[in-house]
Amino acid sequence: MVLIVDSGSTKSDWIAVDTDGNKLLEKIRTEGLNPAILSESKLTKRIEKSDVLIKHSNEVTHLYFYGAGCGTENAQQNLGNVLKKLFPNAHVEVNEDTLAAVYSTINHPEEAAVVCILGTGSNCSYYDGENLHQRVNSLGYTLMDDASGNYYGKQLIRDYYFNKMPENIKVAFGSKFNMDTDFVKNNLYKKPSPNAYLASFAEFMFLHKDSAYTIELIKKGIRLFTETMIMQYKEELKSVPVHFAGSIAYFAQDEIKAVAEEMGFTVGNFIRRPIEGLIPFHTKSL
């Protein structure tokens, strides 16, 4: 059994296939497994909540994990230790989520492209057809992650409290979420995974895209992400497309295309969940 995992900070999707790529189990979902913000014990507990994974743990021969927070050697090692203990018969590989985005969005294995992730967090890399290049080391949701779910959640909460929302949007926002000050601060400063909490607000934008306020909010984040991340690859952008992966990117396609026209880059493919594209990539060589 081959397990392929695509993990963000909010959730992790697991697919079990045989060596020919045929699915063996229904798609499995666990909480997010970000080793940059979770201890080994917490990572273990999140995986152990899945009865299906534990039941079939000894059958797994290969496990390919792609995740947020897996961009450093230390994070990869910590998560790798957890996975090797839980799946003792498996060959385990842990890679950053950007590689999953690359393999699932490029049109052929040798295609060069700038590849962006806009999900709970955000990232941007250049793939030259063989190797991945990153010019910015991410410092996570507190300082970076422009145009991500947690970025937009932060902006929405700020606009709500600073009275920057149109009245009808503010009423709808307050009706959908618990905006009690103590509740919000407790989730931000005392509970685990504040980045995932912030990202939970982002869906609101896409449910209210009939408002000029939300459309401009989305575009503002995309412009900022373009300035800070995509434009790190100015020379490459002259000849390669920019592909996008993640739910924020998928639902903001119109706004991304509009900003791309404003700021001069070519939009390529969009994929909401990279995991499906990883199946043929990994099974063809087994």
| Section 264-282 average pLDDT | 88
Q: What is the distance between the alpha carbons of residues 248 and 228, in angstroms, rounded to a whole number?
A: 17
- What does the mean pLDDT of the chain come to? 94
Q: In what order do the strands lie in the sheet with 113-118?
A: 132-133, 122-127, 113-118, 242-245, 267-271
What single-letter amino acid sits at 179?
A: M
At 132, the pLDDT band (50, 70, 90 cuts) reads very high
| Section 30-36 average pLDDT | 94
| pTM, to two decimals | 0.81
Residues sharing a CB contact under 8 Å with residue 151, sequence separation 6 or more, in sequence order: 122, 141, 145, 198, 221
At 194, the pLDDT band (50, 70, 90 cuts) reads very high
Proportion of the chain above pLDDT 70, given as a percent = 99
pLDDT of residue 137: 86
Q: What is the distance between the alpha carbons of residues 143 and 195, in angstroms, rounded to a whole number?
A: 12
- The answer on pLDDT for 257 being more than 90 is yes
The domain over range 2-100+274-283 is classified in CATH as 3.40.50.300: no
What single-letter amino acid sits at 149?
A: G
- The answer on pLDDT for 230 being more than 90 is yes
At 285, the pLDDT band (50, 70, 90 cuts) reads low
What's the token pair of residue 281? 């990539």
Q: How far is CA 201 from the centre of its chain?
A: 15
Residues sharing a CB contact under 8 Å with residue 93, sequence separation 6 or more, in sequence order: 63, 64, 65
| Section 224-235 average pLDDT | 97
| Section 81-91 average pLDDT | 97
Q: How far is CA 63 from CA 24, 124, 209, 220, in A?
A: 14, 25, 39, 38
- The answer on pLDDT for 145 being more than 90 is yes
Half-sphere exposure of 257 (CA within 13 A, CB side): 8
Q: Is the dihedral of CA 130, 136, 142, 146 positive or negative?
A: negative
Residue 170, classed as helix, strand or coil, is helix
| Section 197-220 average pLDDT | 97
Q: What is the distance between the alpha carbons of residues 17 and 39, in angstroms, rounded to a whole number?
A: 28
Q: What distance, in Å, lies between the first and last C-alpha atoms of the chain?
A: 11
- The answer on pLDDT for 151 being more than 90 is yes
